[in-house]
Every structure is written in structure tokens, then in C-alpha cells.
Chains A and B, each alone.
Chain A
Amino acid sequence: MELVLTFLLLAFLGATALGVAKTRNLFSAVVLAGIFSFLSAGLFTVMDAVDVAFTEAAVGAGVSTVFYLATLALVGGKVRAPEIRITTVKEKQTARTPRFPLVVVVVTGAILIYGTLDMPPYGEPNNPIHRHVTPRYLEETDEEIGVPNVVTAVLASYRGYDTLGETTVVFTAAVGVMMLLSRLKKRDELGEEPWGEEPVESLDVGFGALEPSLESGDRLAEGEGRAEELAT
């Protein structure tokens, strides 16, 4: 049963990933990426990682989809046809679908598969990973920490330093987004631009704003116009 579920989920994951690679509509790519996250959450559940599945379902399928949609509302939702290649601003060339990335990917994949041949078998209780610190965590948590969920105990107590660092990274990411997306409005008397934001009327992020997405031709023309402006 578990095996069947794993195979099914892996097949769906592969199909969704190929779908993301294939589609030229960014909106459907975002939805497919959300499905990919959700399927991987299912796979985590099958693999007994309930906490991870929980996080992946909430983060990957929920919040990150919203972030992607908010971005698409700002940048438009179409991908340019892959046959056209821009080398200079004035010209566009038609190029064949590039083979080189495919070769790189196949070679890398083959090397990685060769590497897995030395890995311990899947799911064996005697694998090296299960013999290092894990037995101590599993045996001592009940006495030392008194918390039934071992994942929480390791996360917050045994490996509290890690989690403090990760929390700081998350906070730093928010600082980065604030610096990138805050609007620079006024210059002070020294001519420097202070960081700031201003109150906003309302929000129509996503669905409505996505519809008038630019056609690829328009986008090219727009890009050229912009570049000519820059050149003059």
C-alpha cells in the first residue's frame, strides 16, 4: 500500500515538474508549482515526516503561491516564445531549442545516479544515519525534555542554536524584501533617498490584474522602446 502510494505520488510529481517546464503561461506554472508542493507534502506524510508535511502544505502550497501571484500581477504572466533569442536590442534571432542544457542535465543526472549506487538501501534500520545521534534523541527525549513530539524537542532544545540561526535568516529575508520593495519618494536636503513606504488605497493583487497580460510581441516592442530610450 505504502509502495503504491509512493509510486503514484512520484509519478504525479514528475508529471507536474515536466508541466512547469513545458508551459509558457506563468499563471499555470504557478498553479502547477503549488500542486507540486502539495504532492510533496503527501509524500512527506507517507514517509512519516508529519511535521514537514504540515509545513510544506502551509508554506509551499499556500503562502509561496500567493507570493508568486503577487509577483505576476506586477510583471505580467506570459513567457516569450523560446524560438526567439535576443542578442542585441534591435535584432531578434530565431534560435533552435538549445541542446546544451539538456546535455548538462543528463550528464549531471547520470553522475548523481552513479553516486547513489554506494548509498545504503532505502529504509533499513541499520543505515549510518540512524546510528549517530538519533538513538540518543529518541531515548532521552522523554526523560530530559518531557515532550512527546521528538521533532519539537530536537528543533527547540537539542538544536536550538540551529533554529535561532534559521529564524534570523527568515528575519533577514524580510529586511531584504523591505529594502527592495519600499518606495523611495522624497530626497532629503543632502539629496539622499530615505527608505519609506506610504499608505495604500486597497489591494487587487492577483486574479484581476493578471488578465490583461501582455502578448509576447508587445513585450518585445516595449523592451525595444525602453532600450532605445536608454541608448539615446
Chain B
Amino acid sequence: MSDQIILRVATKIVVPPIVLFALYVQFHGDFGPGGGFQAGVILAAALILYGLVFGLRRTQKVAPSWLVRTCASLGVLIYALVGVEGIVLGGHFLNYSVFFPLHPEEGQHLGILLVELGVMVTVFGVMATVFYFFAARGREDL
């Protein structure tokens, strides 16, 4: 579809706001609707839109296949490590209050932020990986 000038121009205009919106959804998720799951999906949607219009090769220059695969596993690792950090600091697994013993609710806030970051990274990585693999399959018999 890369010969369609309207699609190309519109995609170039639309993709940056989508990425920005994903980050807004991520970091505003504590205060309004949103969070890691939604942000990850929206971020992946930006990448998929780019991939549909400009082709897989140019997309994989932006986000190579190894990078998105690493993201998929990195997010789970971030989540689990935040949990382990709670044990290291003397609390329970996934208890964020011990991060700042004097201000438990700030520890909770930090923990939620990190955990949601892990969720976003994983969901983005998974959706992008699945898309890459389906798209690459399509080229096989051509």
C-alpha cells in the first residue's frame, strides 16, 4: 500500500500523536481511565499502522524483530523484579509499601508505576511480535 500518497501522508501525521497518546494513557492511568494494557495496545497499533502502510522492512528498521521480542519478555521480568524487590526490602512479594517505609502510599504509587510499565512493555512486545510473524508468513509463498 506504500504507493497510496494519501495513506502515506496521513500515516506520517497520525502516528506521532498515537504514540504520544499511548504514553499519556500509560502515565495518566493512575488518575483516569487507562493503564499498561491499553497503552501497550495503542503503542502496538501505531507500529502496526506504520507497518501496513510502509511495509515490514521499513517498520523493522524502527523496531527490529529482536527488539520487540525482547520487549515481550522484558516486561514480565520488570514486573517480577518489582515483586522480588518487595521481598528484598523485607516485605511480601509485590508489596510496594516497603519501598518508602515512612510513606507507604508513595511506595505504592512508585510500585504501580513500575508494574504498569512492565505490563505496557510486554503487551506492546507481544502484539508487535504477533503482527510481525503473521506478516512475514504472508510473504513466504509470493
Contacts and interface: CB of A to CB of B under 8 A. Distances in A.
The answer to whether A and B touch in the complex, with CB atoms under 8 Å apart, is yes
A164 B134 contact: no
Contacts of B73: 171
B87 to A, nearest CB: 13
Contacts of B131: 66-67, 70
B38 A55 contact: yes
B135 interface: yes
User: Would you call the interface of chain A mostly helix, strand, loop, or mixed?
Assistant: helix
Interface of A: 50-51, 53-55, 58-59, 62-63, 66-67, 70-71, 73-74, 143-149, 151-153, 155-157, 160-161, 163-164, 167-168, 170-171, 173-174, 177-178, 181-183, 197-209
Contact of A152 (B30, B51, B104): B30
Interface size class of B (residues with CB under 8 A): 35 or more
B7 to A, nearest CB: 11
A174 B129 contact: yes
Given A54-B38, A149-B30, A167-B123, 6 more contacts: A51-B35, A148-B32, A153-B108, A177-B133, A200-B57, A202-B58
A170 B112 contact: no
The SS class assigned to the B binding surface is: helix
B20 interface: no
25 contacts: A51-B38, A53-B33, A63-B44, A67-B131, A70-B135, A70-B138, A71-B134, A147-B31, A153-B108, A156-B36, A156-B111, A164-B83, A167-B76, A171-B76, A171-B126, A174-B126, A177-B133, A181-B134, A181-B137, A197-B65, A199-B57, A200-B56, A200-B57, A200-B136, A203-B59
Contact of B57 (A55, A147, A202, A208): A202
B52 to A, nearest CB: 7
Given A147-B112, A202-B57, A167 B75 contact: yes
B72 to A, nearest CB: 5
Contacts of A71: 134
A145 B1 CA distance: 48
B98 interface: no
Given A67-B131, A163-B119, A167-B122, A209 B138 contact: yes
B122 A171 contact: yes
A208 B1 contact: yes
A198 B115 CA distance: 33
A148 B30 contact: yes
Contact of A55 (B31, B37, B65): B37
Nearest to A71: B134
Contacts of A177: 129-130, 133-134
